[in-house]
Amino acid sequence: MAVDDKTWTDTVTWLLVFFGWVAVHRATLIRDRRKEKREVSMKICTDIAELQSAAIDFHTSSHFNARKSTDLAQQVERIILRLQKPPLSELNIPRARMVTLRRRITKHNIDLTDFKSQPADSEIIFGIRNAATDLTILIEDTRECVWK
C-alpha cells in the first residue's frame, strides 16, 4: 500500500505543478499581449502628434512643397490603415473620427492651386489641432477601457 500511496501523491503533485505552470504561463501571455497592444496604441498617438506637427509645418510654410503635400496625405492614410487593423481595430475607433482627421489635414490648402500660407491661429490650423487631439484622447481613453 505504501508504494501505491506514493505513486498517487506523486501523480497529484505533478498534476498540480503542470496545471499551475499552465495557469501562470497563460496569465503571462495575456499580460504580455496587453502590454504590446498598449505600446502600439502609444506609438499611434505619437505618430498622430508627429502628423499634426508635419501638417502645421506644411500649412504655415511660406511656399508650397509638392513632396511634403504628398507625404502628408500618405502619412494620414497610413495612420488610418493602422487604426483599422489589429490590434488597434479592437478599439473600435469610429471611422468618422479618422475621416475628420484626414479632412482637416488634406481637404483645404493642400493643392498648389489653392495653397496659401496659414497663420498659426487660422481655422485650418485650429481644425488640425482639434482633430488630432480628439483622436488621441479617444484612443487613450478607449485603450484604458478595452485593454485593462
Q: pTM here?
A: 0.85
Does some domain include residue 72? yes
pLDDT tens-digit readout, 53-74: 999 999 999 999 999 999 999 9
Instruction: Please state the domain count of the chain.
Output: 1
Does some domain include residue 65? yes
Cβ count near 4 (within 10 Å): 8
Does some domain include residue 16? no
| CB-based contact 41:143 (threshold 8 Å) | yes
pLDDT tens-digit readout, 26-43: 999 989 988 999 999 999
What is the pLDDT at residue 106? 93
Does some domain include residue 7? no
Positive or negative: CA dihedral 114, 119, 123, 124: positive
Does some domain include residue 85? yes
Does some domain include residue 46? yes
Does some domain include residue 107? yes
Does some domain include residue 45? yes
Enclosing domain of residue 118: 37-146
With CA atoms as reference, report the closest residue to 51 among 82, 72, 26.
72
Cβ count near 77 (within 10 Å): 13
Provide the residue type at 117 as one letter.
S
What is the pLDDT at residue 2? 54
Please report which confidence band the pLDDT of residue 140 belongs to, taking 50, 70 and 90 as the band edges: very high
**How far are the Cα atoms of 8, 32, 55, 68, 115 from residue 120, in angstroms, in the given order?**
78, 42, 12, 18, 15
